[in-house]
Amino acid sequence: MRNLKMTIAFDGSKYKGWQRQKANDLTIQGKIEAVLSKMTEEDILLVGCGRTDSGVHAENYIANFHTKSALSTKRMLDYLYEYLPEDIVVKSLEDVAERFHARYNVKSKTYVYRINTHKFRDVFNRKYTYHLAEKLNLIEMRKASEVLIGSHDFQSFTNARNSDKSTIRTINFINIIDTEGLLAIEVNGNGFLWNMVRIIVGTLIEVGKGNIQPVDVERILNEKKRWEAGPLAQAKGLFLRDVQY
């Protein structure tokens, strides 16, 4: 039995996120599994590095699957490229050790959220960038982001329902990069709760607008109440950039 690791890029605009759903097959996992199963004549189960929300994109999403197929990775890649939709591309495919697990072996992930603060939206990039025609205070946003660095209980920064699962996560860094009115907010952490990155971004935007002060972010963390944090940023601006193992 082979264990194969794949790196995937996808435009999540029309999909219901990564995870396969019973009600429909409009998911990234569902689309790839269907093609793999047809190619190998086996029931293939993909293990992804994590869930992505509806409308979220990925530059380098990692998954793995087991197969008895003797096809070369090159032939598999060619097959996948031919039969997958044009908005999903498997960039690489390699045999890895049996113990490799795309989700359990993750050390950290890097997400990037893109914001266009110009007066007009970019008609060519409008599906992949949140348009906010407003000057944001980047100094205050960076101050607020520093509060989130480290290990914290991020219960205020998730839309997940109450459960017994831990809401403690570690943020390694948050970079806010301005390139002539095009903002990139990079967030790296050891794992993320449901909607966590989008709520962090929504909170930082509110800080940039002056509606939340940087000193309030620590209080928001301690309150552990979702409504204390900022709104959920639009999905279309978020990309999974990289996964570290």
pLDDT at 102 over 70: yes
Q: Would you state the pLDDT for residue 8?
A: 98
Q: Is 23's pLDDT higher than 70?
A: no
pLDDT of residue 21: 81
Going by pLDDT thresholds of 50, 70 and 90, the confidence category of residue 9 is very high
Answer yes or no: is pLDDT of 164 > 80. no
Phi and psi based region of residue 181 (left: phi greater than 0; alpha: psi -120 to 50; beta: remaining): left
Q: Which part of the chain is CATH 3.30.70.660?
A: 108-244
Fold of 2-96: Alpha-Beta Plaits (3.30.70)
Residue numbers annotated as active site: 53
Q: What is the mean pLDDT of residues 16-38?
A: 88
Instruction: Tally Cβ neighbours within 10 Å of residue 83.
Output: 13
pLDDT at 24: 61
Determine how β-strand 57-67 pairs with β-strand 238-244: parallel
Tell me which of 20-24, 53-57, 182-186, 190-194 is least confident.
20-24
CB count in 10 Å sphere of residue 68? 9
Task: Look at residue 7 and tell me whether its pLDDT is greater than 80.
Answer: yes
CA distance 240 to 231: 20
Cβ(118)–Cβ(103) under 8 Å? no
Secondary structure class of 201 (helix, strand, coil): helix
pTM of the entire predicted model: 0.93
> At 46, is the pLDDT very low, low, confident or very high (cuts 50, 70, 90)?
very high
Q: How confident is the model at residue 22 (pLDDT cuts 50, 70, 90)?
A: confident
Q: Are 80 and 35 in contact (CB under 8 A)?
A: yes
Helix (H, G, I), strand (E, B) or coil at 155: helix
Q: Calculate what percentage of the chain has a pLDDT beyond 70.
A: 98
Which tokens hold the place of 71?
């096809």
pLDDT of res. 20: 85
Closest CA to 193 of 218, 219, 229: 229
Where do the CATH 3.30.70.580 domains begin and end in the chain? 2-96
Q: What pLDDT shows up at residue 10?
A: 97
Whose structure tokens read 């869930």?
Answer: 51
Q: According to the model, what pLDDT value does residue 191 have?
A: 92
Q: Which fold has domain 108-244?
A: Alpha-Beta Plaits (3.30.70)
SS (H, E, C) 173-192: EEEEEEECCEEEEEEEECCC
What pLDDT score does 25 carry? 80
**Number of neighbouring beta carbons within 10 Å of residue 40:** 17
Residue 137 to residue 116: CA distance in whole angstroms: 14
The percent of residues in the chain predicted with pLDDT above 90, rounded, is 85
Average pLDDT, whole number, for the chain? Answer: 94
Lookup result for tokens 């047809």: 38
Give strand pairing partners of 2: 67
Confidence at 160, pLDDT banded by 50, 70, 90: confident
pLDDT in tens, 166-189: 889 999 999 999 998 899 999 999
Q: Is 152 helix (H, G, I), strand (E, B) or coil?
A: strand
Instruction: State which amino acid sits at residue 220.
Output: I
pLDDT at 31 (0 to 100) = 95
**pLDDT, tens digit, for every residue of 197-210?**
999 999 999 999 99
